[in-house]
Structure 1
Amino acid sequence: MSDTPRLNTAGTALLERARDLRALIDREAGRAEAQGRLTDPVVDALHEAGMFGMWVPAPLGGAELSPRELLDVLAELSYADPSTGWVVMAASLANGTGGAYLGDDAVERMYAGPRMPLIAGQGTRPGVAVREDGGFRLSGQWGFASGMLHAQYSHSLGVIEGTDEGRIFITPIDEVKQLGNWDVLGLRATGSIDYAIDGVFVPEARSHVFDLNEPLRGGAIYRLGLLDQALICHSSWALGVGRRLLDELARHVGTRAGRPGQIASSDAFHTDFARAEARFRAAKALVHETWDDAERTLAAGGRLDVRQETMVRLALNHLTWTLAEVADFVYASGGTSALRDGLIQRLFRDVHAGTQHITSGPQSLRECGRELAGLAPGETWHLFALQA
């Protein structure tokens, strides 16, 4: 059990560093998309700024940010470039939960270097693990391993053969076959390739139960469990990208103000822009309100109840699909400038790639409605469904 069960807060230092990285990340974003992975200058800068350690438990030298701090830092990186924000959110989450939940032997090896490890993989489509003396033999194929082209370790969900137990398994990257099939609409610079593992032995210490919510090290944020922490990731990403879209549209129309026939002089556009801004800010407010409430519970030593679990899912779903509406509005308002290859087109594509993530799928929304309507008495959340 953790020696520090209360919520850790680290202040604004990482947020300020993230803001300092904006120009570099923005400048490198086009080249990153073309090559299907983040550029080396960006990855090095992220390491040097401590971004891959933002989620890592403080006893391991990480920042161990609170949920609201994570929302702010990851939103800033996602504003600079959606693919960069996506890679950092995925890797920092895996780094943090690995540091909190893995056994001592694994943690001593993985977190001992001058840089934080970078872990990438997939936690939603399970492979199969066969128990052996001292560990497990893991096989399977997984998709959408964001950041794997930069990683030193993979993070993969597997189900123990003969049981229903799901575990996360950490394997060195040289034991992973990277399938390299990354040809997608958006988020191209994330390099979220598919990969396979064939009969690799994983020591017990390099695995943990999937739904573990009591950390071996670190504080109360790890009591959320892996899935709820992932909801922070995707909420922060949508916050950053939505703000960038609206800011870019304002800049775009501003440069054309005063020219005959431009959208900047349209009363209808003014009204629609106001509505888009209001929808986005309202969705943002719901996310902040929900995680403020969750933080108060964690800070008091508690765990989220069923209604709070519902609300963190609902807030993400609402924000994600509000973001999609904002992206459609910005693209339509951008005219031929949005049609051509450029920033608005890339943001539009990235948003519609991001909406396909399972965390914002329709099942979760239906279950939220059922719980909010009082139709799920005695049920609790298991991933994206309520069960008795």
Structure 2
Amino acid sequence: MTQTLSRPEAGEIGDGASYIAAARGLAALIDAEADGMESGRAISQPVVDAIAEKGLFWVLVPREWGGAGLGIVDSLKVIEELARSDGSTGWAVMANAFSTGIAAGYLAETGGHELFAGEDKGITAGMILPTGKGVRVDGGYKVTGTYGFASGSGHASWIGAGFVVHDDEGNPELGADGVSPVCRVAFIPRSEIEFLGGWDVMGMVATGSDNYAVTDVFVPEAHAMDTFSTVPTRPESVYKLGLLGIGVGGHAPVALGIAQRALEEIAVIAAAKTRPGYPSVIGDSDMFRREFATNEALLQAARRYVYDAHADAEAAAESGELDDEQRARLRQVTTWVQGVAQDVVTFAYNWGGSASIRNPSVLGRCHRDISVGAQHMLVEPMTLVEAAGPILAGYQNR
């Protein structure tokens, strides 16, 4: 395996090193299971068990509750390693671990403790946007709604369900501004969820991002949190990154891992593959080597920016609060890296020729996965427009 300039290395960052190494150590198992997982449209039980055994679902859960208590940078590097083995696995664990981190950091202390501090630690998944309806009742809410994109729900024990709060007369409750509705996220035991299927897609197939429904389920207040809260309930600095800072950033290392794997695959293929018009294997071609060096540099640069931007944000959270430009850069880099990764994977896929299109094919899977991952609404190109304002202001005020 190629060791690159700034890929996560065991021993690189204190306590996170063992978790990064553990994620890397699962590569052989995940690789062996990947084709079966794609055809079965779910992460296999051996992979789920191995990830749980290494504690990777709980990298963002506080140490006092038995989690890893990692910062954001180390958590991202864990996800990159898993995605390098298989894009769907990286994506599903990202969805689980990062939504679990949000729940741990923003639920009331009693609720977070109930979900994550016991011997049977909870794993979350599901949609947190307020598309459902929750009627306020004594001690909590009665929640009803239909949701989609429950990545990683096949092995999750608690499913998120966002909702708008209504009073007992059916009227939406309004916030302090008198205009915006009060929105909450409930975490509901999977036994009370109706899974509807619906995940029939070309890539990220094994994430099992199915639709699901909740019908008049009681959710205690302790198992619900404010959808748009900016104030965590836990003291750890990572939670100061906010719901978007945690929830969005995880998409970046998935893209990095898929692109890294694509380069590794094409490097091996090019060393043996011949094509008409080439005097020897394509790996000896000046044209291939120039394109490989260019794309490899792009990936190195993208990786460096992803981790630098998050390291800067993490340092700011540790010492105080993030400023607007730091938050904008997290949005910028997470969206931008999707395009870089798509270009890198496309380069590898095109040079792979028939090796890319025959099933099973790692390059084919990389191409499908990055194509789907880049379509997520959280990395919609319009986020670059939104990020530009604070970044421009930083240039203008220097």
Global fold match (TM > 0.5): yes
The code of the aligned residue for 1:360 comes to: V
Whether the 8 Å CA contact 2:130–2:162 is kept in 1: the answer is yes
Percentage identity across paired residues of the two chains: 35
CA distance in 2, matches of 1:94, 1:189: 18
CA distance in 2, matches of 1:251, 1:187: 24
CA distance in 2, matches of 1:281, 1:125: 37
Q: 1:226 aligns with which of 243, 266, 271?
A: 243
Structure 2 residue 341 is the aligned partner of structure 1 residue 336:
no
Matched position secondary structure for 2:121: coil
* Structure 2 equivalent of residue 238 of structure 1: 255
* 1:9–1:179 CA distance, 2 compared to 1 (3 A): farther
* TM-superposed deviation, 1:109: 3.0
* Structure 2 equivalent of residue 191 of structure 1: 208
* Structure 2 equivalent of residue 70 of structure 1: 75
CA distance in 1, matches of 2:233, 2:315: 22
Write the mapping of 1:153-302 to structure 2, written as runs, cut at 5 A: 153-161=158-166, 162=172, 163=174, 164-256=181-273, 260=279, 262-300=281-319, 302=320
* Structure 2 equivalent of residue 381 of structure 1: none
Structure 2 residue 59 is the aligned partner of structure 1 residue 59:
no
CA distance in 1, matches of 2:266, 2:206: 23
* TM-superposed deviation, 1:171: 0.6
Residues 242-269 of structure 1 deviation map (CA, whole Å, 9 limit, x = unaligned): 1111111111112337984542232211
Q: 2:97 aligns with which of 84, 88, 92?
A: 92
CA distance in 2, matches of 1:54, 1:229: 12
Whether the 8 Å CA contact 2:99–2:247 is kept in 1: the answer is no
* Structure 2 equivalent of residue 325 of structure 1: 343
* TM-superposed deviation, 1:331: 1.1
The code of the aligned residue for 1:337 comes to: A
CA distance in 2, matches of 1:173, 1:281: 40
Structure 2 residue 64 is the aligned partner of structure 1 residue 45:
no
Q: 1:140 aligns with which of 140, 145, 149?
A: 145
Unaligned runs of 5+ in 1: 1-7, 378-388
* TM-superposed deviation, 1:112: 4.5
* Structure 1 equivalent of residue 169 of structure 2: none
Structure 2 residue 375 is the aligned partner of structure 1 residue 372:
no
The code of the aligned residue for 2:199 comes to: W
* 1:56–1:239 CA distance, 2 compared to 1 (3 A): same
Whether the 8 Å CA contact 1:257–1:265 is kept in 2: the answer is no
> Which of 200-209 and 234-243 deviates more?
234-243
Whether the 8 Å CA contact 1:59–1:218 is kept in 2: the answer is no
Whether the 8 Å CA contact 1:78–1:240 is kept in 2: the answer is yes
Whether the 8 Å CA contact 1:17–1:49 is kept in 2: the answer is yes
CA distance in 1, matches of 2:18, 2:257: 18
Residues 264-309 of structure 1 deviation map (CA, whole Å, 9 limit, x = unaligned): 2322111111111111111112112211211221221x11111111
CA distance in 1, matches of 2:34, 2:212: 25
Residues 122-159 of structure 1 deviation map (CA, whole Å, 9 limit, x = unaligned): 12352121211211111111111001111111012212
* Structure 2 equivalent of residue 356 of structure 1: 375
* TM-superposed deviation, 1:218: 4.5
Matched position secondary structure for 1:12: helix
The code of the aligned residue for 1:190 comes to: T
Whether the 8 Å CA contact 1:52–1:116 is kept in 2: the answer is no
The code of the aligned residue for 1:334 comes to: G
The code of the aligned residue for 1:200 comes to: V
Matched position secondary structure for 1:256: coil
CA distance in 1, matches of 2:240, 2:227: 13
* 1:108–1:372 CA distance, 2 compared to 1 (3 A): closer
* TM-superposed deviation, 1:213: 3.3
Write the mapping of 1:13-52 to structure 2, written as runs, cut at 5 A: 13-52=18-57
Whether the 8 Å CA contact 1:290–1:311 is kept in 2: the answer is yes
CA RMSD of aligned residues (A): 2.1
CA distance in 2, matches of 1:222, 1:120: 18
> Which of 365-374 and 143-152 deviates more?
365-374
